[in-house]
Amino acid sequence: MKPLGSYFPKREFLSPPLQSNKRLHSINVQKCAAIRLAEPGDIPALAAIEDASRPGGNWNAAQVAEELERERAIVIVDEQPNGQVAGWIVTWRVPPDELHVLELAVCPSHRRKGIATSLLLAALNKQHREEATTLVLLEVRASNEGAISMYEKAGFIAVGRRRKFYSDGEDAILMNCDLNSVPTTNVLNSQV
């Protein structure tokens, strides 16, 4: 296993920006929802999801806007049939072949409906197909058993722990997924 520090070498980010008007997938999550790239009009909804998920949390509207403009960032949302954005995922491309999941959040009223899984799989499928991503990295709160279970089902494994990583002193579990070695019943062949 590579040392964790080797996953984030200092290098220039050359990946082209994505077009924001392109739908990625249509999926069935209770009623038909659209998984699509985020747009500037989504910023208030994404900031509200963050605040509902983690009051005073990680991302405010200005930070969300920065990610939409960041060349290496991919921001994907779940839009419900009524037009409400119910969840989002933020990933960074790390050339040549890595992806880092920075944020995955779902509105509390839409949890346990498969939205987080759909967002994760959409991001992984998109990156593997379009940019030949092979390694995906993330950190998750040690107490977030539901998220850890979801990541494990998607093919992630725990590779380390960052002690007192979060502002409240909680540890982060470091996880990664080698997309070249995920069983065929998992991420890459998922129908989303």
* Selected catalytic residue, list 71, 131, 151, 170: 151
Each residue's pLDDT tens digit, 98-107: 999 999 999 9
Q: How many domains does the chain have?
A: 1
Each residue's pLDDT tens digit, 158-177: 999 999 998 899 999 999 99
CATH of residue 60: 3.40.630.30
12 C-beta neighbours (distance < 10 Å), count: 5
Is-catalytic flag, 170?
A: no
Looking at residue 105, its amino acid is A
The neighbouring-strand residues paired with 173 are 140, 161
* Selected catalytic residue, list 12, 67, 139, 152: 139
Residue with tokens 């037009």: 83
Dihedral sign for Cα 25, 26, 27, 31, please.
positive
User: Which position has the higher pLDDT, 189 or 146?
Assistant: 146
Q: Band the pLDDT of 146: cuts 50, 70, 90.
A: very high
Whether residue 11 lies inside any domain: the answer is no
Mean pLDDT in residue range 34-54: 90
Whether residue 162 lies inside any domain: the answer is yes
Helix 43-53 and helix 61-69, axial crossing angle in degrees, nearest 10: 130
Whether residue 148 lies inside any domain: the answer is yes
Dihedral sign for Cα 72, 135, 171, 5, please.
negative
Is-catalytic flag, 7?
A: no
pTM, full prediction:
0.76
Each residue's pLDDT tens digit, 49-99: 988 887 666 788 888 899 989 988 899 999 998 889 999 999 999 888 899
